[in-house]
Amino acid sequence: MAKKASKDTEEVPVSAGKSAPQTESRAMNPLREFDRLLDTFFDRGGMPSRWEHPLWQRFAALEKGMPKVDVIDRDAEVVVRAEVPGFEREELDVSVTDGAVTIKGDHREESKVEEGEYFHSEISRGSFTRTVALPGEIDADKAAASFKNGVLELTLPKHKKANRRKVEVK
């Protein structure tokens, strides 16, 4: 399932699942859902919601559990790149269906320092789950993944190559 990797790139196992309907999956956030509900009742007159403010977007980027993901739609394949700094290859679990990719990570770290009467111990844990809808049907059995420098890259061949052509704007 995973393609051969170069010296600097590690392989990540990819599991293929049954085809799922293509729906956009996103985590439920009660505050954002409430804000959306208020937007439907009250017209804000073109004012952005508080979640669209640049300051909120900066905080959201720091939020644990939501790695940044790029989805690149090419003619013959879909490439998904996820930033997962601080995680090792063994801590990642990737599953692919014809319509979505799910990336899970679980990281645990413990450090202890003992010097004479001084004792310090810290335990940290981080985990995330991210499901991304794909722009077209892919062949999950031929999916390949690699991991290098905290970036997970999935290459997902399409069932049918896209026929793109240039359209003149008049």
pTM: 0.57
Supply the pLDDT for residue 9. Answer: 61
Q: How does 3-41 read in b/e, with b if 16+ C-beta sit within 10 Å? A: eeeeeebbebebebeeeeeeeeeeeeeeeeeeeeeeeee
Supply the pLDDT for residue 21. Answer: 45
Low-confidence ranges of the chain (pLDDT < 70): 1-10, 15-28, 39-65, 162
Supply the pLDDT for residue 46. Answer: 54
Element (DSSP H or E) covering residue 165: none
Supply the pLDDT for residue 4. Answer: 46
Supply the pLDDT for residue 95. Answer: 94
